[in-house]
Structure 1
């Protein structure tokens, strides 16, 4: 992580996501601008968090560890997302691991400032409520998927959540085949079982796997297989 000292960029992101309006103040707040690289850990479970974080650029993966030492996938988050709201309100350590999927930019505001000046601010608290309730919804969905869905369904949901094309990129992106072991852990299955699923989908020409990557060939079949569920 590195701090970005670019006031113009900070102001652009604050305006773009109406963050300053949330606090209803004309004076400049002590915001920081933080940059994380691809695959960099943003937050570790059990550590102390000092600032509320606003994701304004990039994509991050949220996971939760289980007793076996493995992690389960909860969701992916994109702008505009708030990280640290539960830790702020409940005064607890970090509850989930957060990892940058690609280059990410976050705006931070220290907990001390918030607790001193903003805990009676209705606009700010209403925004926190919206984000916390959305997280509850997505965690409920993730729990249902992790417990009840087949590995094929979960993998299809993972692919649709991870590499489905954005509006400005109709082709999507490829998934690195070297990450299959990690994906198996996140989906609560074994590397061998997930490989069988990948082989089956390849035979059906839904995906194509080569030595280094997995590419989607049939988006509509994959969408149907995912049952419309996303880790978002």
Structure 2
């Protein structure tokens, strides 16, 4: 459930260590609950997560949110917006304290034009995202909400995250009411989480 990418993490660290202009890549820290990107706003940096976990979500016009995925160390943020020259497609919020390698947009554009290693890694990431999205969609069709919720609760426990009921429902694509019924059915009580 958490996407990570050790290759990107090593790549970003190496570029950070070797850079000649110390403002091309900087390390930024965000506290839990901070927004790294805001849906609809202009992109200002491309980032690679060094440490921590973030959630990626869409906010719909009706005020509801849908969580697409959770990102961990090595994952890249903002590359699609840069490549397409568009505002942020979704919001990304720190679920834990988080640190990122933050790349200036001109420097990341230069890397895309000149660095075949980066381009190959980006192609791999894009292909993996398509596979993950397809797998998640089929999983949601083939398994019950109760089963998916059990997996989400297991994920939460394994990573010691406090996922709110609202976020659980947003990730599963269900209402709070349906979530509460499923929690009762599987015998879990999470009133104090988040």
Sort the TM-score into its range (normalised by shorter chain): 0.7 to 0.9
Q: Deviations over 1:150-193 (max 9, x none)?
A: 3213312322333325xxxxxxx3646xx213422332222222
Q: C-alpha separation between the residues in 2 aligned to 1:117 and 1:75? A: 26
- 2:104 is aligned to 110
Q: CA deviation at 1:146?
A: 4.7
Distance (whole Å) between structure 2 residues aligned to residue 144 and residue 68 of structure 1: 26
Structure 1 equivalent of residue 157 of structure 2: 163
TM-score, normalised with respect to structure 2: 0.80
Superposed CA offset, 1:128-149 (max 9, x none): 2222222222222333345554
Q: Could you tell me which of 33, 58, 65 is aligned with 2:59?
A: 65
Residue aligning to 1:212: 192
Which residues in structure 2 correspond to 1:121-132 (within 5 Å)?
Answer: 121-132=115-126
Does the aligned pair in 2 maintain the 1:74–1:142 contact within 8 Å? Answer: no
Asked if 1:77 is matched to 2:57, the reply is no
- CA distance in 2: counterparts of 1:79 and 1:96, whole angstroms: 19
Partner of 2:34: 40
The unaligned stretches of length 5 or more in structure 2 are: 1-8
Please give the secondary structure, in 2, of the residue aligned with 1:95.
Answer: coil
Per the alignment, in what secondary structure is the counterpart of residue 163 of structure 1?
Answer: helix
Q: Output one character per residue of 1:199-221: Cα deviation in whole Å (capped at 9) or x when no partner.
A: 1111xxxx4x265249xxxxxxx
Q: Residue 135 of structure 1: SS of its match in structure 2?
A: helix
The partner residue of 2:179 within 194, 211, 214 is: 194
* Alpha-carbon offset, residue 26 of structure 1: 6.2
Length, aligned pairs only? 185
Deviation at 1:46, TM superposition (A): 1.3
TM-score normalized by the length of structure 1? 0.68
Which one is further off, 75-84 or 137-146?
137-146
Q: 1:117–1:19: structure 2 CA closer, same or farther, 3 Å change rule? A: closer
Q: Which has the greater radius of gyration? A: 1
**Separation of aligned partners in 2, 1:26 and 1:36:** 23
